[in-house]
Amino acid sequence: MNEFIQHTINGLALGSIYALVALGYTMVFGVLQLINFAHGDIFMVGSFIGLYFIRFAIPNAEPSIFTAIMVLIAAMVGSAIVGVIIEKFAYRPLRKAPRINILITAIGVSLLLEYGGQLVFGASPQFFPDILPRKLIDIGGDIILDSNQLTIFVMSFVLMQILSFLVFKTQFGRSMRAISHSLETANLIGINVNKVILITFIIGSALAGAAGVLYGVAYPKIDPLLGLLPGLKAFIAAVLGGIGNITGAVIGAIILGLSETYVAGYISSTYRDALAFVILIIVLLVRPGGLLGSKKIEKV
Amino acid sequence: MIMKSFLLSVLVILSACQNKANDKIVIGNFGSLTGAEATFGISTKQGIELAIEEWNKAGGVLGKQIELKAYDNQGKPEEARLSVEKLINVDNVVAVLGEVASTRSLAAAPVAQQYKVPMISPSSTNPLVTQKGDYIFRVCFIDPFQGEVMAKFAFNSLKLKKGAILRDSKSDYSMGLANYFIKTFEALGGTIVADEKFVSGDVDFKAQLTSIKNKSPEFIFVPGYYTEVGLIARQAREAGVKVPLMGGDGWDSDKLTEIGGAAVEGSYFSNHYTVEDPRPEVQNFIANYKTKFGTMPDALAASGYDAARVLLEAIKRANSIEGQKLRDSIAATKDFQGATGIITINEQRDATKSAVVLKVVGKAFKFVESVKP
């Protein structure tokens, strides 16, 4: 039983990281019906921006909440800038083109970031230093709760709440949802479509940047191909929850994190990555809209 | 297949265009200069460079200067294979030195065998490597011995009876070494309470470690490479596992303590050599390496150095760079005074020599004991 509880804690922490990445996927999809395959790589870029910020701006900083917040802000701002550049130069010129063009462009941007990253950052993995004071809390029965896991979990929950508020309670959110419904009509009724989409990319990329730093804190080995697997997993999580649905993305990510940990703990870690894709196939077969998604089938 | 023959014909044309001025003897090296095992490739290459530099200063070999051609395989087996193909067909090397990781040596060995170009692996310990053909050699011990050394050390020296295994299911080295370890440890009377796996490239090991912790072993044997071992050590401590970790020569890198930090403190691993060895061959090598590269040589550097010197000695003895003669000359290597020990190539084309057990203390690896074959 204790082992099960420990697996559950670890699975929730893993799921929270997937959730942060999945939120960005789901937001961009919600607005543009675009699966932004470069999202996982913006997550990687965020992680490296965090690393270089620590190395060059605050090389002697002690691990503290303050340090962590500084690194997080730096990575979020940096990733947002990368997101804006990508939106402006890669996606905006294709806004009126068929959906498949922009999808392929997204894959191109993803490859550019991965292999460009190998040129800029080098192909060898680098070590992400500790930026948070770490405490291991024994919560009885030999079950250990890592303060970092708790931070990541709380962080993704808070960000999810902020996003929900933004999308459902503000004027900006209303514009976003209008565009999601019909881009042309939104344009006709006077919504500045380009501006809203740009802000969506800024928020999505900043979230990915934050996730990148938290990932570095949890798993301190980062390399330019780091975004590949978490990016795919987060995408699966978003599909599982119902792509375009914010709560769905978080629920999907948590389910994926938990089931991966249970599989690795009780069966074999060899099947861990396979499981995610099996889940994807089952969801697509049984409930193409996802757990919380609309029934409307989307062609991508 | 069509693609492959096309590539080969391109290579042949390229090699035909090469100026075959025979004023130099070219030796090939392929290794992971980037990727998760980057320090393996870099150390090995630097060891080889040092050996070649020393020989060139003394007048080269067969009256010619020696040149090194090195390719990066990024830690990928398919790239390793291609590198050797390129070294042999484009660069016309007389022999190939590499790799460290057994998986990549296994991928490249058939190519060297096919073209009958001798290949010496400095530090691949999986027994299958030299079984790929009679042109494939190594200057290090093999995993059955290494596994035995660590099993005996755990059981006899540390008096531990209950062990757990955490191995890499994608690595020939890791899977093999774990098997040999279990065999000896169980034969001695110990029990293996858990045998978990991971896949190289993984970053989350919490699930496996939680399962292992539940079986309360007295130590965990992790025959992996340093990047994963460092992460595993950290997560083991985070999961509340306090017992020592043990491993093999794949741990040897200064990155181990950088990634693992305090978590690897007090762990043990078997290795090819120790910097504390007082023999002049070792101390001279360390001094020269430090002057040239500014860092302490790890065992991979020492093995690369030895592999290059064994090869150059063999060329000198054979008085030829012709494949067959060179092969026979390497096979006849006996009592060679290397930095990693006294090397004698046996009938299986493996080296028989001692292993050392090291303990991680701070950022250093301290000598614990030496085991003869």
Contacts with B197 from chain A: Cβ below 8 Å: 268-270
ipTM: 0.79
Q: Do B34 and A123 touch (CB under 8 A)?
A: yes
B363 within 8 A of B254, measured Cβ to Cβ: yes
Question: Could you give phi then psi for residue B196, rounded to 5 degrees?
Answer: -105, 160
Interface A–B counts its CB contacts (< 8 A) at: 78
B340 within 8 A of B299, measured Cβ to Cβ: yes
B99 within 8 A of B171, measured Cβ to Cβ: no
pLDDT of res. B218: 95
Taking CA A27 as the corner, what is the angle to CA A23 and CA A28, rounded to the nearest 5 degrees? 120
Distance CA B157, CA A114 (A): 48
138-167 in chain A: CB under 8 A from chain B: 138, 142, 144, 146
Q: What is the DSSP string of A222-266?
A: E-TTTTHHHHHHHHHHHHHH-TT-HHHHHHHHHHHHHHHHHIIII
Q: Coil, strand, or helix at residue B206?
A: helix
Q: Would you write out chain B's pLDDT as a tens digit for each of its 373 residues? A: 555 555 555 555 555 444 445 689 999 999 999 888 889 999 999 999 999 999 999 998 998 999 999 999 988 999 999 999 999 999 999 999 989 999 999 999 999 999 999 999 999 999 999 999 999 999 999 999 999 999 999 999 999 999 999 999 988 899 999 999 999 999 999 999 999 999 888 888 988 999 999 899 999 999 999 999 999 999 999 888 999 999 999 999 888 998 888 899 999 999 998 998 888 989 999 999 999 999 999 999 999 999 999 999 999 999 988 888 999 999 999 999 999 988 999 999 999 888 999 999 988 999 999 888 7
Tell me which residue in A7, A136, A146 faces B210 most closely, judged by beta carbons.
A7
CA of B32, closest CA in chain A: separation in Å? 10
CA of B207, closest CA in chain A: separation in Å? 5
Q: Do A264 and B208 touch (CB under 8 A)?
A: yes
B324 within 8 A of B116, measured Cβ to Cβ: yes
**Would an 8 Å CB–CB cutoff place A63 in contact with chain B?**
no
* Cα within 13 Å of Cα(B308), Cβ side: 32
Question: Could you give phi then psi for residue B178, rounded to 5 degrees?
Answer: -60, -45
Q: Which residue has the tokens 């999907």?
A: A252
Cα A91 to Cα A27, A31, A103, A108, distances in angstroms: 15, 13, 9, 11
What are the boundaries of each domain within chain A?
2-232
Q: Do B231 and A221 touch (CB under 8 A)?
A: yes
Q: Do B207 and A264 touch (CB under 8 A)?
A: yes
Residue whose C-alpha is closest to residue B76's, from B30, B19, B43: B30
**Amino acid present at A133:** P
CA-nearest residue of chain A to B32? A124
> Domains in chain B, please, with CATH?
2-141+278-354 (3.40.50.2300), 143-271 (3.40.50.2300)
The predicted-structure confidence for A176-228, as pLDDT tens digits, reads as follows 888 888 888 888 999 999 999 999 999 999 989 999 998 998 888 898 988 98
Tell me which residue in A2, A7, A221 faces B207 most closely, judged by beta carbons.
A7
**Would an 8 Å CB–CB cutoff place A264 in contact with chain B?**
yes
